[in-house]
């Protein structure tokens, strides 16, 4: 019996709660007998993150929401419904396909093809030696050169990578973290050599070391000097490259490592808080650098949970920036994000199914208001994508953009009882994680204690068990399994890239001014011991054609290397 | 009382994507095996040293980067040198079909691709790990 329903005049006082209770009552009346005749397929229905989901959501579930305060029109604080008043009507998202393999020559060719096919931005995938700051001739580079991305050893490779591509006319995203400053320095010098200035240059470096410690594990230095490299980039860009996105705070890898949607959201946004705090502590005005921060989220298979995640992200970030950091500029409040469909959801079995998975995941990212998107290729559980598979992935985005009609409306799911409830739940869960991490002293401290790593390991194991028990069905893997295995055409990367990169490195060392290289590296080391900004020192080393490995080694000598205690 | 199977789980190469390695390590442990996880970026030399020191019955490698055709031959060669030919070696990760027979030929008996049920790997190791009877 609804409280207050029988009191005199109460039908006027509690219109909202009166109606919503009626909705729930009605539902119980119809659903309960229905369950008797047709029992539900499962005892408990959950999202892919294990979040329990009710059969129906009603106005009751969003009774506490206030439209102006909690949602607001797109373009208005707290941006739950989007940061642009007109959504995709003015400008579609950037279709940015992550690509790179083999030598800079081969990747340059793929980039030209992607741009010709209508891609609107580039996204560089580097190989593991580059990502780990090792030259091709280092013992740990054995077999890794050019395999997972393009190998870039020195400025000479960067010049080749962007040969014939006008850097002033595109935006480039570079997925690079530990050696982000070194690679960014190379990009700046290439732009300069093409005759372009830095002030108008636009693009993104991932530059997010915290998620490396948490999830992807491509770290070099301990957390604190790593954070200094990042704040050096913030400071440098405020003055010299004001349109550059200095960091892409990434949940993608956190999710791929096994986090739930809420954990992805919480750890990513809390990483963002950490970077802003370090920037402020380094003496920057929050509104000077916060507008250049961007985010990168996964777009996984649980459709509504993902859409709610993006909406919650915008609302939480707006509040954090305005209330916690006292930012004044709306541009500091607005969370912009790139998204990528979930690599981890792709299956080696029946690979064509991956096209469907990717399309649905991409749709979630679009309905969540992404600013740019990468769609995975169908063959990526098996290898790096072939050119045809990469083109199909791009076509998937173009079909969503131009054929489905979803881009005509801003935040079409706003007001959905379920989506709004999920948005609120994810927000609350995130804020609870913020409290825990704040109590630990911050994200750097939480990482040092292994906290997010442990949380993720736990979730990933629980998910795997759910798959084993077929509580979660993966089509073609634990159900609907095909009897025969049809091989598909794959991109096979041989060792020729390694051979060629080693030759080029040898030639470089024989022809460059090695005295100038050494001097630049010595200055870099001295600078790293002190407190000067490392960016100008790296730019000088890059101009002298110092290699990624040489620059990273110089800093290894000063700062040492990080070793984690593995958490299973 | 039968002795537990001892398994070294290792991540060779530069790659840091350790979700698979960690999930497998835990599944094997839950299945009653003694699991030693080496952590990241282990050279074949370090992995063989760990297997020797830990008296391992099996080694599980997780390789997603495409470097398997460099890492595996070196590892098998070193195992031979140390007289550890009877240690079962399995590999999991992103392995193109064409490489599977080559890996089998060099003595790697199990190659597990994405989507393999954990139970299959547990069963395989239970069936094929070197016997501890009489050790």
DSSP letter (8 states) at residue A69: I
Chain-centroid distance, C-alpha A448: 22
What is the rounded average pLDDT of the residues A167-181? 94
Shortest Cα distance, chain A CAs vs residue B85, angstroms? 24
Residue B8 in this model has a pLDDT that exceeds 60: yes
d(CA B13, CA B39): 11
Phi and psi dihedrals of B112, rounded to 5? -115, 125
Angle at B82 between CA B77 and CA B87, to 5 degrees: 80
Residues in chain B with CB shorter than 8 Å from the CB of A461 are: 22-23, 26-27
Q: What SS3 class is residue B8?
A: strand
A542 Rama sector, left if φ>0, alpha if ψ -120 to 50, beta otherwise: alpha
Q: Judge residue A361's burial from the number of C-beta atoms within 10 Å of its C-beta, 0-12 exposed, 13-18 middle, 19 or more buried.
A: buried
Residue A129: pLDDT band (50, 70, 90) is: very high
> Residue A48's closest CA among A265, A254, A303, A253?
A303
DSSP letter (8 states) at residue A5: T
Q: Which residue has the tokens 């009774």?
A: A63
For the ranges A444-453, A476-485, A542-551, B73-82, which has the lowest average pLDDT?
A476-485
Residue B49: pLDDT band (50, 70, 90) is: very high
pLDDT value of position A23: 67
Asked if B37 and A568 come within 8 Å (Cβ–Cβ), the reply is yes
pLDDT value of position A287: 97
Q: Does B26 touch chain A (CB under 8 A)?
A: yes
Residues in chain A with CB shorter than 8 Å from the CB of B67 are: 142-144, 147
d(CA A543, CA B135): 61
For the ranges A108-122, A537-551, B99-113, which has the lowest average pLDDT?
A108-122
pLDDT value of position A438: 98
Q: Are A315 and A423 in contact (CB under 8 A)?
A: yes
Instruction: Give the nearest partner residue to A128 out of B15, B114, B118, using CB atoms.
Output: B15
The tokens of A417 are what? 């009882």
Interface of A with B in 323-382 (CB under 8 A): 344, 346-349, 381-382
Q: pLDDT tens across A219-253, in order?
A: 999 999 999 999 999 999 999 999 999 999 999 99
Asked if A258 and B23 come within 8 Å (Cβ–Cβ), the reply is yes
Q: pLDDT tens across A349-392, in order?
A: 999 999 999 999 999 999 999 999 999 999 998 888 998 999 99
Alpha-carbon distances, residue A195 vs A163, A198, A239, B81, B86 (angstroms): 13, 10, 19, 57, 62
What is the rounded average pLDDT of the residues A272-277? 98
Q: Which residue has the tokens 């040198």?
A: B81
Residue A18: pLDDT band (50, 70, 90) is: very low
For the ranges A188-192, A221-225, A525-529, B115-119, which has the lowest average pLDDT?
B115-119
d(CA A6, CA A18): 11
Alpha-carbon distances, residue A233 vs A122, A207, A225, A289, A421 (angstroms): 21, 9, 13, 10, 39
Residues in chain A with CB shorter than 8 Å from the CB of B10 are: none
Asked if A131 and B14 come within 8 Å (Cβ–Cβ), the reply is yes
**Exposure string over A33-72, b if 16+ CB within 10 A, otherwise e:** eeeeeeeeeeeeeebbbbbebeeebbbbbbeebeeeebbb
d(CA B9, CA B21): 7
Residue B135: pLDDT band (50, 70, 90) is: very low
pLDDT value of position A460: 95
What is the rounded average pLDDT of the residues B68-80? 95
Q: pLDDT tens across A304-350, in order?
A: 999 999 999 999 999 999 999 999 999 999 999 999 999 999 999 99
Asked if A257 and B40 come within 8 Å (Cβ–Cβ), the reply is no
The pTM assigned to this predicted structure is 0.92
The H-or-E segment that residue A498 falls in is helix A496-511
d(CA A215, CA A210): 9
What is the rounded average pLDDT of the residues A91-119? 89
Residue B114: pLDDT band (50, 70, 90) is: confident
What is the rounded average pLDDT of the residues A546-568? 94
Instruction: Give the nearest partner residue to B94 out of A212, A217, A382, using CB atoms.
Output: A382
The H-or-E segment that residue A378 falls in is none
> Residue A49's closest CA among A242, A365, A262?
A262
> Residue A254's closest CA among A333, A313, A342?
A342
Q: Are A401 and A407 in contact (CB under 8 A)?
A: yes
Asked if A344 and B16 come within 8 Å (Cβ–Cβ), the reply is no
Asked if A381 and B40 come within 8 Å (Cβ–Cβ), the reply is no
Q: Which residue has the tokens 């593991």?
A: A128
pLDDT value of position A483: 83
Alpha-carbon distances, residue A7 vs A12, A14, A546 (angstroms): 10, 11, 81
pLDDT value of position A172: 93
pLDDT value of position A21: 53
**Mean pLDDT over all residues of chain A?**
92
Q: pLDDT tens across A386-442, in order?
A: 989 999 999 999 999 999 999 999 999 999 999 999 999 999 999 999 999 999 999
d(CA A219, CA A549): 14
Q: Does A487 touch chain B (CB under 8 A)?
A: yes
pLDDT value of position A567: 79
| Longest pairwise C-alpha distance within chain B | 42
Strand partners, A475: A479
The H-or-E segment that residue A192 falls in is helix A180-193
Residues 6+ apart with CB under 8 A from A290: A276, A279, A321, A325, A327, A329, A331, A332
Shortest Cα distance, chain B CAs vs residue A512, angstroms? 28
Angle between helices B19-30 and B118-128 (to 10 degrees): 60
Q: Does B15 touch chain A (CB under 8 A)?
A: yes
What is the rounded average pLDDT of the residues B34-50? 94
Strand partners, B42: B12
Q: Integer distance in angstroms from the first to the last C-alpha of chain B?
A: 13
Residue A3: pLDDT band (50, 70, 90) is: very low
The tokens of A212 are what? 């490396």
Shortest Cα distance, chain A CAs vs residue B96, angstroms? 6
Please state, for a pLDDT cut of 90, what percent of chain A lies above it.
82
Q: Are B7 and B35 in contact (CB under 8 A)?
A: yes
Residue A122 in this model has a pLDDT that exceeds 80: yes
Please state, for a pLDDT cut of 70, what percent of chain A lies above it.
95
Q: What SS3 class is residue B10?
A: strand
The H-or-E segment that residue A98 falls in is strand A94-99
CA dihedral A388, A390, A391, A397 (to 10 degrees): 150
Residues in chain A with CB shorter than 8 Å from the CB of B27 are: 461, 464
The H-or-E segment that residue A425 falls in is helix A417-440
Strand partners, B88: B58
Sign of CA dihedral A519, A524, A530, A534: positive
pLDDT value of position A1: 31
d(CA A218, CA A211): 9
Residue A27: pLDDT band (50, 70, 90) is: low
Residue A472 in this model has a pLDDT that exceeds 70: yes
The tokens of A518 are what? 């050494």
Residue A16 in this model has a pLDDT that exceeds 60: no
The three-state (H, E, C) secondary structure of A138-178, written as one string = CHHHCCCCCCCCECCCCHHHHHHHCCCCCCCCCCEEEECCC
């Amino acid at each position: 019996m609804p409280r207050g329903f029988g009191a005199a005049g109460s039908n006027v006082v509690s219109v909202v709660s009166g109606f919503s209770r009626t909705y729930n009552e009605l539902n119980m009346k119809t659903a309960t007998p229905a369950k008797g005749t047709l029992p539900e397929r499962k005892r408990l229905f959950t999202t892919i993150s294990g979040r329990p989901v009710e059969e129906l959501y009603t106005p009751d579930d969003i009774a506490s929401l206030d439209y102006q305060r909690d949602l607001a029109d797109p373009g208005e604080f707290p941006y739950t419904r989007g940061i642009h008043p007109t959504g995709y009507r003015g400008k579609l998202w950037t279709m940015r396909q992550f690509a790179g393999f083999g030598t800079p020559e081969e990747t340059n060719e793929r980039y030209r093809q992607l741009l010709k096919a209508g891609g609107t931005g580039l996204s560089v995938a580097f190989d593991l030696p580059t990502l780990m700051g090792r030259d091709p001739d280092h013992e740990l580079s054995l077999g890794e050169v050019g395999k997972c991305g393009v190998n870039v050893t020195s400025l000479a490779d960067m010049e080749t990578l962007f040969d014939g591509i006008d850097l002033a006319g595109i935006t480039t995203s570079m997925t690079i973290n530990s050696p982000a400053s070194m690679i960014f320095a190379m990009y700046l010098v290439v732009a300069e050599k093409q005759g372009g200035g830095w002030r108008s240059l636009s693009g993104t470096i991932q530059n997010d070391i915290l998620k490396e410690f948490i999830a992807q594990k491509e770290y070099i230095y301990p957390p604190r000097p790593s954070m200094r490299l990042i704040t050096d980039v913030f400071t440098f860009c405020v003055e010299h490259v004001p349109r550059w996105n200095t960091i892409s705070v990434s949940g993608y890898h956190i999710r791929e490592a096994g986090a739930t949607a809420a954990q992805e959201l919480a750890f990513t946004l809390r990483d963002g808080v950490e970077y802003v705090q370090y920037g402020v502590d380094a003496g920057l005005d929050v509104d000077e650098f916060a507008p250049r921060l961007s985010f990168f989220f996964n777009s996984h298979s649980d459709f509504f949970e993902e859409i709610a995640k993006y909406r919650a992200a915008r609302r939480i970030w707006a509040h954090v920036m305005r209330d916690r950091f006292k930012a004044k500029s709306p541009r500091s409040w607005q969370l912009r994000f790139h998204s990528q469909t979930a690599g981890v959801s792709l299956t080696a079995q029946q690979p064509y199914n991956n096209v469907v998975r990717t399309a649905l995941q991409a749709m979630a990212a679009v309905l969540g208001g992404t600013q740019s998107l990468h769609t995975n290729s169908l063959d990526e559980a098996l290898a790096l994508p072939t050119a045809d598979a990469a083109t199909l992935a791009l076509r998937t985005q173009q079909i969503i953009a131009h054929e489905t009609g979803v881009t005509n409306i801003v935040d079409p799911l706003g007001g959905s009882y379920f989506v709004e409830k999920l948005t609120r739940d994810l927000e609350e869960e995130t804020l609870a994680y913020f409290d825990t991490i704040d109590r630990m002293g911050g994200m750097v401290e939480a990482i040092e204690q292994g906290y997010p790593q442990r949380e993720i390991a736990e979730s990933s194991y629980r998910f795997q068990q759910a798959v084993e028990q077929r509580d979660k069905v993966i089509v073609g893997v634990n159900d609907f399994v095909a009897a025969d295995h049809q091989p598909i055409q794959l991109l096979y990367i041989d060792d020729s890239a390694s051979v060629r990169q080693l030759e080029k490195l040898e030639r470089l060392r024989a022809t460059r001014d090695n005295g100038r290289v050494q001097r630049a590296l010595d200055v870099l080391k001295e600078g790293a011991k002190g407190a000067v900004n490392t960016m100008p020192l790296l730019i000088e080393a890059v101009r002298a054609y110092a290699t990624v490995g040489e620059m990273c080694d110089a800093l290894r000598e000063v700062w040492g290397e990080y070793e984690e205690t593995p958490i299973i | 009382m039968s002795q537990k199977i001892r398994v070294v789980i290792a991540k060779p190469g530069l790659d840091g994507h350790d979700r698979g390695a960690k999930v497998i390590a835990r599944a094997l442990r839950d299945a009653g095996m003694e699991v030693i996880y080496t952590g990241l970026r282990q050279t074949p030399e370090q992995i063989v040293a760990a297997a020797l020191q830990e008296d391992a019955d099996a080694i599980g490698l997780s390789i997603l980067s495409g470097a398997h055709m460099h890492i595996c031959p070196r590892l098998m060669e070193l195992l031979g040198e140390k007289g550890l030919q009877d240690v079962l070696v399995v590999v999991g990760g992103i392995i193109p079909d064409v490489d599977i027979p080559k890996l089998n030929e060099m003595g790697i008996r199990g190659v597990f691709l994405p989507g393999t049920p954990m139970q299959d790997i547990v069963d395989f190791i239970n069936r094929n790990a070197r016997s501890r009877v009489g050790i």
